[in-house]
Amino acid sequence: MNSFAVQARVPTGRIRLVDVRRRALLIAQLRVLLIGAVFVALAAAALLRIAYLGLVQPAPSERSMADALLPSRGEITDRNGLPLARAFPAYALWFNPVAMDDGGPPLVRSPEEVAAELKAIFPDLDEFAVARQLASGKAGYLRRRVLPEDANRVYAIGELALELPRETDRHYPQGTMAAHVLGYVEDGVGHVGMEAALDDRLRDPLRRGEPAALSIDARVQGALEDELKRGMLSVNAVGAAGIVLDVDTGEVLALASLPEFDPNKMDAEGQKHVFNKVTNQVYELGSTFKPLTVAAAIDSGAVTDLSRRYPATPFHVAGFTIRDSHPLGASLNVPETLIHSSNIVTAHIVDDLGAARFKQVMGDLGMNERPYIELPARGFPIWASGDWPRLRAMTVGYGHGLAVTPLHLASAYATMVNGGIWRPATLMKIEPGQANRGRRVFKASTSARMNQLLRMIAVYGTGRNANAPGFRVGGKTGSAEKPGAGGYNRSSLVSTFAAVFPMDRPRYVIIAMLDEPKAVAASSFQRTAAWNAAPIVRRLVPRIGPLLGVLPDETRDIDLTDLKPLVGDGSGE
């Protein structure tokens, strides 16, 4: 009974047990299945991912090589392809105090220790200023330009807070050279020179891959700046300007304005020197205008006989007396006028020529408008409008009463010696045969005659100090008093030498100008151009001549035999 009862109870319990076991088994199986399914799903996902990576995704994202190599701003080169300005990826040293991201101090070691380590890498670093900056916990540049090997050494310090971001930088490998031609870049925008003039082109993605070739020759530019600087320092001048111009194409081979600035490091000091003395500042350039006056007179037929003698005694006109710097005798002919630089005879020649005709020639030479050049800074000449009275024309004849830039003078001289064609000056390289047509101002015969006269000034006259042996230099000195408050200032001069070489086949015009030279021992205690500007040309021409394809030759010169009898032995009267 009992057992039956038990027996009777057991089956139900067993059934329940079997039921439980079956269910447990089922659940277990289900779980295994589920886990298996998850694994299968994971494996499938992994396989799919592998398949996707291998088949669909085009490996690392593709980038065109040309895109990667396209500079962020176009390169500027000289005429021979030497880079003058280029964009290149540089490193900067940036202090990022939150780089550690742990709420602690930004540096592992003390700021002083880190500053000392940085000082070991960059010897010119201000250790205390850097330590102060590191201690202040303010983010900022520690240094704008870091060389790659120095960047590696900074990494080796092991401070996370010292970051070296790559920045695209504008770099001028030649330093201060040609600074006024190039200008500088600030926040991606070009200023002052060709950086401003070519800004659109340098930023255009289609054209910036190709370097912009300027007409500048870096070697000539270097020599011009060097000689100008030496000349400027030797006579204590406050500034200097110079230009080398190709007479046949109008290409500017060198253009310098001193004191210069450093486009790699623009600061307040640099900003003071940004003003371009060659294209923007107007000067009364004095006696350098006399050859232009004589050329205008010969061209119009006012002077047909060069041996004609003009009175050289003080000339009273309209209540004003025109004098020479020192008495030059009773009378002078035209070559002697240029050789001794007589204001009086030049005034007589202008009188014969006529003010209207003279004004027209000056206008044809571009003296009545801003100079033609790509630079944004171009000075407007002080040009008297309306009919010129007789006195005005006479003073302009010897370079007073008309203020122009040295570039105006260079273009006018190029016109006078190249056969009489005026061409606009340019800073862009011109392929051979592609020069501007220009306009005719003088006859070719006038130009040939002027070549002789300019050479005579350098052989017998005030330009003797510029006569570099073998280079057939011709040119004219000019020393003008600077206008100041209440008339001309006798002690401050602008001394200019306008030179052309070689005179037997003129190729280049050189203008060398000194602003307020002093009378010092180096210039034999003289202030005039013959003693300070002319020697600059004499030293410069032998340096640049062979580079420009003009070889010195003592056996060759322009024929002066027909004019030589007019000046006697060249020593004076």
Binding residues vs another protein (CB under 8 A): 54-55, 58-60, 62-63, 65, 68-69, 82-83, 86, 88-89, 147-148, 171, 173-177, 218-219, 221-222, 225-226, 469-471, 542-543, 545-546, 551-554
Hey, which residues does 483 pair with through a beta bridge? 488
Q: How far is the CB of 539 from another protein (least distance, A)?
A: 8
Q: How far is the CB of 85 from another protein (least distance, A)?
A: 11
Q: How far is the CB of 479 from another protein (least distance, A)?
A: 27
Q: How far is the CB of 33 from another protein (least distance, A)?
A: 30
Hey, which residues does 166 pair with through a beta bridge? 91
Q: How far is the CB of 459 from another protein (least distance, A)?
A: 16
* Of 137 and 259, CB closest to another protein: 259
> DSSP alpha helices (H): ranges in 194-342?
194-197, 199-203, 218-234, 268-272, 290-300, 334-340
Distance CA 400, CA 312 (A): 19
Q: Residue type at 6?
A: V
* Of 174 and 418, CB closest to another protein: 174
Number of Cβ within 10 Å of residue 107's Cβ equals: 22
**Do 256 and 510 form a contact (C-beta atoms < 8 A)?**
no
Hey, which residues does 482 pair with through a beta bridge? 489
The H-or-E segment that residue 92 falls in is strand 83-95
Q: Which of 411, 475, 400 lies closest to 441, judged by CA?
A: 411
Q: How far is the CB of 269 from another protein (least distance, A)?
A: 18
Token readout for 293 is 């006056």
Q: How far is the CB of 291 from another protein (least distance, A)?
A: 26
Number of Cβ within 10 Å of residue 78's Cβ equals: 25
> Which residues form the catalytic set?
287
Gyration radius of the chain's alpha carbons: 39
* Of 463 and 470, CB closest to another protein: 470
* Of 176 and 447, CB closest to another protein: 176
Complete DSSP assignment for 231-248: HHHHTT-SEEEEEEEETT
* Of 173 and 327, CB closest to another protein: 173
Distance CA 475, CA 497 (A): 7
Q: How far is the CB of 514 from another protein (least distance, A)?
A: 20
The H-or-E segment that residue 252 falls in is strand 252-258
Q: Residue type at 289?
A: F
Distance CA 545, CA 223 (A): 11
Token readout for 568 is 């006697």
* Of 92 and 519, CB closest to another protein: 92
Distance CA 508, CA 35 (A): 91
Helix axes 406-417, 290-300, angle to 10 degrees: 40
Q: How far is the CB of 168 from another protein (least distance, A)?
A: 11
Sheet hosting strand 508-515, strand order edge to edge: 252-258, 239-246, 508-515, 487-501, 474-484
* Of 264 and 462, CB closest to another protein: 264
11-19 long-range Cβ contacts below 8 angstroms, 24+ apart: none
| Residues across the chain | 573
Distance CA 104, CA 185 (A): 39
Token readout for 118 is 């940085």
* Of 321 and 555, CB closest to another protein: 555
* Of 59 and 268, CB closest to another protein: 59
Give the list of residues 6+ apart from residue 501 with CB closer than 8 angstroms, or none.
Answer: 468, 471, 472, 473, 474, 507, 508, 510, 541, 545, 550
3-state secondary structure (DSSP) of residue 495: strand
